[in-house]
Amino acid sequence: MKKIIALVLALTLLLALTACGASGSNGSAGTAAETTQAATAADGKGTSIAADGSVITNYDKATVQTDKELSKFRILVLYNSFTDKLGSQYKSSMEYIAEPLNIDFTFLETGSNGDEAMAAIEAALVSGYDGCIGTVASEARAALFDKAGVPYVVCGGMPSDETQAKAMASYENYLGSVVVDDYAAGYAMAEALYADGCRNVMWDGLSRGYSGQHDARAAGFADGVASHDDMKLIVENWDYTQWADGIATAAATYPELDGVGCTCLMANIYNTIESEGLVGQVQLAGIDVSEGTGRAFENGSLSYIAGGNYACEQICFAVLYNYLLDGTRVIADPTVNLTLNNINLSSLEDYNNYIKYLDSAVPAYTAQEILDMTHYVDESFNAEKMTELCKAYSLEDVIARHADLVQ
């Protein structure tokens, strides 16, 4: 019975990690769901209520301002599970733009078993698609879509090395990869902990080599710590099943421990800090807004968190949409990832604004904003402007663009 409980717990944590961009390049665990789900855009009229009680004016999504004809495209969207937090945000942000941009989305849950995922994708491609957005950066995927004549953009994943990046770029239908700046997020964790007085810190990460994203976060955190002569990384935990319990153990073993950087801050970590009486003793910093984030800002145990990375999916769509509309490649060199900034939160006020402007009925980018990212409607739009747009992404940027949507 203990073995069964442990297995269930490990599986639950692994599935939760998919919301943290933990898809390894080889996809070595889980099963592929063999069902697809066609998206139906919501009506988009009226209002909705945000978590903080503010009124979200959800304006009519069925119209965009353009004198251009918008052709209908069928887009296949792949992800491990569209029921986890990040997956549901990916899906809802695509559904939001479906009707006004005349897009027919199909969402295919691939699980994380590489062979089963490939089989499910091959079966789906038989019905014919104009393009695809996925999360796995591998030559095998690039080759599969190239053979099918389907343009492919990778969301959140990155080639494991320069050799693989060049191999993927050799396929005509591979348009490139869009990633969030994971290294910067890791570095920002260390800086935030240092600013809050932490000098002896711990890292909760995924096994090295499992995911390029998580490796980048770990490297950023380590470099951030090393940039301060009076800050030390005294404990490293690479077993995701022990992230929460490992903090309790480390705090008991190393009384000087005063900060923890987490590659994925899940609810059980917040719970451990509270249940073990570590609030006020151990500060947290990490990635991904989840249940407990607001509470941790309220009790003062959270120094920093990066969120809003679901917008990576919307940027991927813009990359694909440009190519489908008029053949424009807004990732000029597909061997180089297009990097999107993080949404950096360091206070309860930031968190409340995040919930209001980014975790509500209106996603990071509206249909009109995405249409304006295309060379088809703006002939001056190019790879350079796309790069600038991604660098501008921030909490302040979203608030400025969507101030009239929240009352």
Q: Do 303 and 320 sit in the same domain of this protein?
A: no
What sign has the CA pseudo-torsion 283, 287, 288, 289? Answer: positive
- Position 338 in a domain: yes
Q: Whats the size of the chain, residue-wise?
A: 407
Provide the pLDDT for residue 20: 63
C-beta of residue 230 within 8 angstroms of C-beta of residue 259: no
Q: Do 388 and 292 sit in the same domain of this protein?
A: no
The domain tally of the chain equals 2
What sign has the CA pseudo-torsion 361, 177, 226, 222? Answer: positive
Provide the pLDDT for residue 21: 57
Selection from 217, 198, 192, 203 nearest residue 259 by Cα: 198
Largest Cα span, the chain: 66
List Cα–Cα distances, 124 to 141, 146, 150, 151, 360, in angstroms. Answer: 14, 15, 12, 15, 31
Q: Do 288 and 233 sit in the same domain of this protein?
A: yes
Q: Give the burial string for 136-157 (b: 16+ CB within 10 Å, else e).
A: bbbbebbbbbbebebbbbbbbb
Token digits for 334?
A: 């597909």
Provide the pLDDT for residue 364: 95
Pairing of strands 283-287, 232-237: unpaired
> How far does the chain reach from its first CA to its final CA, in angstroms?
52
Q: Do 49 and 168 sit in the same domain of this protein?
A: yes
Q: Do 289 and 302 sit in the same domain of this protein?
A: yes
DSSP assignments along 317-349, one per residue: HHHHHHHHHH---SSS-TTS-EEEPPEEE-SHH
Give the integer Cα–Cα distance in Å for 70 and 67. Answer: 9
Q: Do 116 and 39 sit in the same domain of this protein?
A: yes
C-beta of residue 112 within 8 angstroms of C-beta of residue 157: no
Give the integer Cα–Cα distance in Å for 233 and 222. Answer: 7
- Position 238 in a domain: yes
Q: Do 229 and 248 sit in the same domain of this protein?
A: yes
Q: Do 293 and 321 sit in the same domain of this protein?
A: no
C-beta of residue 261 within 8 angstroms of C-beta of residue 193: yes
Residue 407, number of CB atoms within 10 A of its CB = 9
Residue 336, number of CB atoms within 10 A of its CB = 13
What sign has the CA pseudo-torsion 362, 21, 134, 10? Answer: negative
Range of the domain at 255: 183-307
C-beta of residue 82 within 8 angstroms of C-beta of residue 133: no
Token digits for 39?
A: 């998206």
C-beta of residue 296 within 8 angstroms of C-beta of residue 319: no
Provide the pLDDT for residue 17: 55
Provide the pLDDT for residue 149: 97
Provide the whole-model pTM.
0.85
- We report the CATH number of the domain holding residue 379 as 3.40.50.2300
Burial class for 72, CB neighbours closer than 10 Å (0-12, 13-18, 19+) = exposed
Provide the pLDDT for residue 365: 96
C-beta of residue 245 within 8 angstroms of C-beta of residue 294: no
- Position 14 in a domain: no
Please give the angle made by the CA atoms of 54, 60 and 66, to the nearest 5 degrees.
130
Q: Do 175 and 257 sit in the same domain of this protein?
A: no
- Position 295 in a domain: yes
User: Which of the 8 DSSP states describes residue 406?
Assistant: B
- Position 8 in a domain: no
Provide the pLDDT for residue 63: 64
Q: Do 381 and 279 sit in the same domain of this protein?
A: no
- Position 15 in a domain: no
Q: Do 170 and 231 sit in the same domain of this protein?
A: no
- Position 94 in a domain: yes
- Position 245 in a domain: yes
Q: Do 206 and 244 sit in the same domain of this protein?
A: yes
Question: Domain boundary at 307, 331, 351, which?
Answer: 307
Mean pLDDT for back-to-back runs of 10 residues, the chain (407 residues)? 47 50 40 34 41 47 80 96 90 95 96 86 95 93 96 88 90 96 97 98 90 90 98 95 93 98 92 96 95 95 96 98 98 95 97 94 94 97 97 97 83
